[in-house]
Structures are given as C-alpha cells and as structure tokens.
C-alpha cells in the first residue's frame, strides 16, 4: 500500500450474521495498473467487490479512492449509485447483467445517463429539442460507437443485447462500464465461460483499457492464464483473509497460495499455477 494507490482498502470486515465473509482485509490497487483478486470459491472476493461498489455496507473498515487530482473519497460513506456517479467506480457482474431487451447501442447510452441528464437540462431542454442537447446526444452516440468498434460489435449495434453470444455480452458489459468513464473499473470474473481465443481477446482489451484510458482495473478472476498474463499485482484471499500479495510470479511461487488454492494437494495446485505461464 502506498500513496500512489487509487484504491486503498483498510481493515475491511463484512459479517453476515455469524458468518464473517471478509475479515480485516487490507490491500491496495495501484493507479493505472491491473490488480487481480484471486482465491478459491467462497473466499469472499465478490463480497469485497460488493463493498467497494456500494452494494453492501461493510461492517467495519475504510475504503479510500484517490482520484488523479488528489481528491480522496471514502467509499464506505457513499451508497449504491453515488459510488459510480461521484467516485467513478464502475463494475461488471459475475452473472452478466446487461439490459437484455435493449440494443447494444442503447446499453451504452444508458451508461452515459448522468452526463446526458445534465446535457438534457434534466429532461426539459431535451424535451424541446435544444441544439445543445442534440450535440450532446450525437457525442454520446459517437462514444458508444467507438466502444462498439473496440469490442468488435459495431455490426451488431442494433441487435438486442440478450441476443448476442455469451462472449460478446461479456465484452459489451465491460464497454458499458467504460462508458461511465470510470477511474476504477471492477470486473467480476470477466473471463468466466469464455473459450481460449475469447480470453486472449479479453486480455488484450483490458490491457488496452489500462494503457489507452489510464483506467485502473481491479479484477476477480479464476482463469489463471488471464490473471498471470495481464495483472501487475495479485492479491490472494482465502476464507475472507488475505494470504498473499505481490507480482504474479511471487504469488505463483508462494507455498501458502498453492496450499490454499487446491487444498493440500500441492502437485495439482502447481499444475494449475503452471498452466498460467
């Protein structure tokens, strides 16, 4: 953890009744870097995400987001939509949550809601079709078009999101999150259910997002090939606590991680970890 971190989570604890899902977790996500949060199923990764993005109110602990201009925001004090609106933290979901009955383009337009709401003068300017609103709408469509092009879905812009193949839906959800112009992008298992080729394309997309937009990325992922390839830092969780942190190489060689990841069977664990290289 250092001052350059865009997100610093300190002593985060989340209890559900008697169950401690996250226990005194501290870690940081560096600016313009990709930080991966890994761990076996049930380790509490998604709970951490839900705390960061305001879907859960943490039992205790602090989460501080520092913008490029040095402005710091305590995430635990904001609730749901304000985290995206004010702190500019965007997220995707483990089970894709697109708007299935809306087109790919509409999905990306909804993501620009807050900017467009201002441009439409809280609807009133838009209702009378003011020129300033028209310009803003054209810009919004252009931004959406740019993203559709980047994820290779320009040809399917007018198709319902629910009709797109699974891999395309995953990418569209990331594009939708990016249309909110976030400072921190949180991805919950973006490679889940993707084949090898799609995973590779995803890695490329995420690296491009980091490089071209300077967006910091925090991701939960089980696909070790993706994690090892793109992450700058890896945080490993098990049973709600952090068991290791470091570069992908350091983490991969950590005996605690290997033990936690696939139980006591070290040889199997090593095989999985090796597959990532």
Residues near another protein (CB under 8 A) are: 53-55, 80-85, 90-91, 93, 97-103, 105-106, 109-114, 116-117, 120, 123, 126-127, 141, 145, 154, 157-160, 162-163, 176-177, 180
Please say which residue, 40 or 121, places its beta carbon nearer to another protein: 121
| Between 32 and 134, CB nearer to another protein | 134
How far CA 8 is from CA of 42, 89, 99, in Å, comes to 22, 13, 31
**DSSP summary character for residue 33:** S
Q: Which is nearer to another protein, 115 or 241 (CB)?
A: 115
The bridge status of strand 216-220 relative to strand 34-38 is parallel
Cβ of residue 188: shortest distance to another protein, in angstroms? 10
Q: Which is nearer to another protein, 127 or 272 (CB)?
A: 127
Pairing of strands 233-238, 34-38: parallel
Dist. CA 45–CA 197, nearest whole Å? 26
Looking at beta carbons only, is 108 or 228 nearer to another protein?
108
Task: Tell the smallest beta-carbon distance from residue 128 to another protein (Å).
Answer: 9
Neighbour count for residue 74 (Cβ, 10 Å): 11
Closer to another protein by Cβ: residue 46 or 180: 180
How far, in whole angstroms, is CA 216 from its chain's centroid? 9
Q: How far is the CB of 235 from another protein (least distance, A)?
A: 22
Compute the distance between CA of residue 256 and CA of residue 227 in angstroms, rounded to an integer. Answer: 18
Q: Min. distance of Cβ 136 from another protein in angstroms?
A: 10
Residues ≥6 apart with Cβ < 8 Å to 142: none
Nearest-5° Cα angle at 96, 173 to 218 = 65
Q: How far is the CB of 61 from another protein (least distance, A)?
A: 21
CB of 266 to another protein, least distance (A): 39
Please tell me what DSSP assigns to residue 44.
Answer: S
Beta strands 184-188 and 216-220 are parallel
């Amino acid at each position: 953890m250092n001052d350059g971190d865009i997100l610093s989570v300190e002593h985060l604890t989340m209890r559900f009744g008697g169950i401690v899902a996250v226990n005194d977790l501290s870690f940081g996500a560096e600016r313009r870097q990709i930080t991966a949060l890994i761990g076996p199923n049930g380790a509490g990764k998604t709970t951490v995400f839900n705390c960061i993005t305001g879907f859960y109110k943490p039992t205790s602990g602090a989460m501080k987001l520092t913008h490029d201009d040095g402005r710091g925001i305590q995430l635990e004090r904001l609730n749901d939509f304000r985290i995206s609106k004010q702190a500019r933290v965007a997220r995707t979901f483990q089970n894709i949550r697109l708007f299935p009955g809306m087109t790919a383009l509409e999905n990306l337009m909804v993501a620009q809601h807050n900017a467009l709401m201002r441009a439409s003068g809280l609807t009133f300017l838009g209702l009378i079709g003011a020129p300033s609103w028209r310009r803003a709408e054209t810009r919004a469509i252009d931004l959406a078009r740019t993203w559709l092009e980047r994820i290779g879905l320009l040809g399917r812009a007018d198709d319902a999101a629910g009709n797109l193949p699974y891999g395309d839906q995953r990418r569209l959800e990331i594009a939708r999150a990016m249309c909110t112009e976030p400072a921190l992008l949180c991805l919950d298992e973006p490679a889940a259910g993707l084949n090898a080729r799609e995973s590779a394309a995803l890695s490329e997309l995420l690296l491009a997002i980091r490089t071209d937009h300077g967006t910091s990325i925090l991701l939960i992922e089980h696909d070790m090939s993706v994690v090892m390839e793109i992450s700058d830092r890896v945080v490993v969780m098990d049973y709600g606590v952090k068991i290791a942190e470091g570069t992908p190489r350091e983490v991969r060689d950590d005996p605690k991680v290997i033990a936690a990841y696939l139980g006591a069977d070290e040889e199997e664990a090593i095989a999985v970890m090796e597959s990532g290289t």
